[in-house]
Amino acid sequence: MSTQNALSTILVEKINNDTLVLPTLPAIALKVRKAADDPDINLNAMGDVIGQDPSLSARMIKIANSAYLGRSVKVTSINQAVTRIGLRQIKNISTALAMEQLFVSKNDVVARYLQHEWSNTVTVVANAMATLQLYIARTKKREMSIDAMTLGALVHNIGVLPILTEAERHPEVFANPTFLEVAIDKLSGRIGEKIMREWGFGDVFANLAKNVKDLSYIPEQVSYIDFVRVGAALSGAMENKKDDVLNLAIQRDVIDSTSTLQSDEFNELSAAARQIFA
């Protein structure tokens, strides 16, 4: 059995036997999500929860002051940031900002792969956010939120994490990156859906993680997956599917033309979104 098939076989067997080790959400993200689900939580109490993590606090203040929220008056404290962002959005935003903690490894080779995945994911996020912002400005439709879009784009390829963890046990795989690419292409969607359900993220995120690369899956209504696909296509993550993705986006009125994605406004929005994760 080839190394490539061996890795895929091992992964499939572990998925079927429910023995694949799935990543867990960072502790601070779990705390914030639990607090956000408390019907009695208030802004001050939420600020106290976030304030337990200095890194998340700094990023939350940064996002509150970013073009992402379109405000000119700067905030300087976590309580001000929470007030500006609002309890409804805090749950997704805090989870998104904590996600980088998952893309780490003590193995140097795996760490490099994870760093590459994180960098590419941020690019997908920035492009998807910019696309949604322009869509909302053009259509005035507000059914989809930027915070859920951000989190959806960040978890769209989360299925690669267990694959890289398993590959770490088979160093020969890294001698030929194609082996990894095949396993990721075949299994990351299925594993990603499993992670989303394990984390209790619900159908929207589970379906996104499972089907984002499968262009035969077309939701009846425009949804987050449309914007993540555009973001991924622009980042080069959809391989030879870029034209198909963009043509589908035009058909579904996600964008009015490809020139929108080359405009100064798009580039500025994408750059501003990227800065959130810098």
What confidence tens digit (pLDDT) does each residue in 154-201 have?
999 999 999 998 888 877 777 777 778 888 888 999 999 999 999 999
Query: Which of 147-151, 155-159, 167-171, 269-273 bottoms out in mean pLDDT, i.e. has the lowest?
Result: 167-171
Task: Kindly list the distances between the CA atom of residue 91 and the CA atoms of 30, 32, 34, 68, 208, in Å, as whole numbers in the listed order.
Answer: 9, 6, 9, 16, 18
What is the residue-averaged pLDDT of the chain?
A: 89
pTM for the structure as a whole: 0.90
Comparing CA positions, the residue from 2, 42, 18, 25 lying closest to residue 190 is: 18
| Cα angle for residues 273, 265, 221 (degrees, 5° grid) | 75
Q: What end-to-end distance do the CA atoms of the chain give, in Å?
A: 42
140/5: higher pLDDT: 140
Q: What is the pLDDT of residues 51-94, one digit of tens each?
A: 999 988 988 888 888 766 666 678 888 988 888 888 878 888 88
Q: Where are the alpha helices (DSSP H) in 140-238?
A: 146-155, 160-167, 177-198, 203-211, 224-235
State the fold for domain 3-24+101-276. Hypothetical protein af1432 (1.10.3210)
Residue 20's contacts (CB-CB under 8 Å, 6 or more residues apart) are 11, 14, 162, 166, 191, 194
Are 167 and 174 in contact by the 8 Å Cβ rule? The answer is: yes
User: What's the rounded Cα separation, in Å, for the pair 126 and 98?
Assistant: 16
What is the distance, to the nearest Å, from the Cα of residue 181 to the centroid of all Cα atoms in its chain?
19
For residue 147, give both structure tokens. 């915070």
Q: Give the pLDDT score at 1.
A: 46
- Burial (CB count <10 Å: 0-12, 13-18, 19+), residue 167: buried
